[in-house]
Amino acid sequence: MKIVVMNFSGNVGKSTVARHLLSPRMENAKIFPVESINSDGTQDEAIKGKEYGDLLQALSLVDDAVVDVGASNVEDFVALMKKYDGSHEDFDYFVIPTVKNTKQQNDTISTIEALHEIGISAKSIRLVFNMVDDSDNLQKSFDSLFKYHAASKHFTLRPDSVVHENEIFLKLKNSAESISDILNDPTDLKGLLKAATEPEDKMNIAAKIGIKRLASGVTKELDGVYKTLFQ
């Protein structure tokens, strides 16, 4: 299975969805980031045609992959899918994470429209409601998207495809560890805590125990979201 994660808007958690929701449940599928960085560290806002062609070739060599398209590259990525006629058919799904802010919802609609214009079917366009507060009323918080779906039917909307806010995503933002890495770590943290004598060591181990508990809870949620998203 090959999935593109995209949204015209930034700050919707695309990389979080690619890294923590999708890849671990696709046999740890390789993530292909489409986010060009210049040598001076600044972002190049255009993916070139050759780079897109190279990406398609690389994808042809693997069975499972997640393509994480940075917000600054989405417009060019869509244009190149049109230029390389039929290349959108190389992808099984287009997953669009969204959050409740009005701008992000409007950008989500624009993303769906752009994909629809290429000819991508509604069954291939899947929405993930991301960073949802436990107290939010989903339909009220994402009213624009529910109304747009009712009017257009240009994408697949599943109200259970919800990833709630969780501090673990922020804690792991700049970490090489994934949620699955933490959960599968065999270290006996409770044993280490019991054996520790220094307060600083105890605090560090206790923090790791807390993160592992968060990892366990969020993994159950992500398992459910993944199942709902692709059922």
The pLDDT tens digits of the residues spanning 113-156 come to 999 999 999 999 999 999 999 999 999 999 999 999 999 999 99
Cα(130)–Cα(122) distance, integer angstroms: 20
| pLDDT the model gives residue 231 | 79
pLDDT band at 40 (very low <50, low <70, confident <90, very high): very low
pLDDT of 42 higher than 60: no
Q: Is the dihedral of CA 78, 83, 86, 89 positive or negative?
A: negative
Identity of residue 41: G
High-pLDDT (> 90) share of the chain, %: 83
pLDDT digits (tens, 9 = 90+) for 49-62: 678 999 999 999 99
pLDDT band at 21 (very low <50, low <70, confident <90, very high): very high
Q: What share of the chain is helix, strand, coil (3-state, %, to 5)?
A: 55, 15, 30
pLDDT of 219 higher than 90: yes
| pLDDT the model gives residue 180 | 87
Across residues 27-45, what is the average pLDDT? 65
Look over the chain and give the mean of its residue pLDDT values, rounded to a whole number: 91
Between 4-8, 18-22, 175-179, the lowest mean confidence (pLDDT) is in 175-179
Bridge partners of 34, per DSSP, are: 69
DSSP 124: G
154 with 122: CB under 8 angstroms? Answer: yes
Burial of residue 200 (number of CB atoms within 10 Å: 0-12, 13-18, 19+): exposed
| pLDDT the model gives residue 44 | 43
Cα(55)–Cα(4) distance, integer angstroms: 12
Query: For residue 94, how far is the Cα from the chain centroid?
Result: 11
pLDDT band at 47 (very low <50, low <70, confident <90, very high): low
Q: Which of 96, 157, 172 is nearest to 130 (CA)?
A: 96
Cα(223)–Cα(228) distance, integer angstroms: 9
pTM: 0.89
Cα(23)–Cα(142) distance, integer angstroms: 26
Bridge partners of 229, per DSSP, are: none
In terms of phi and psi (left: phi > 0; alpha: psi -120 to 50; beta: otherwise), the region of 71 is alpha
Nearest 5°: phi and psi at 49? -55, -40
In terms of phi and psi (left: phi > 0; alpha: psi -120 to 50; beta: otherwise), the region of 215 is alpha
Across residues 157-175, what is the average pLDDT? 92
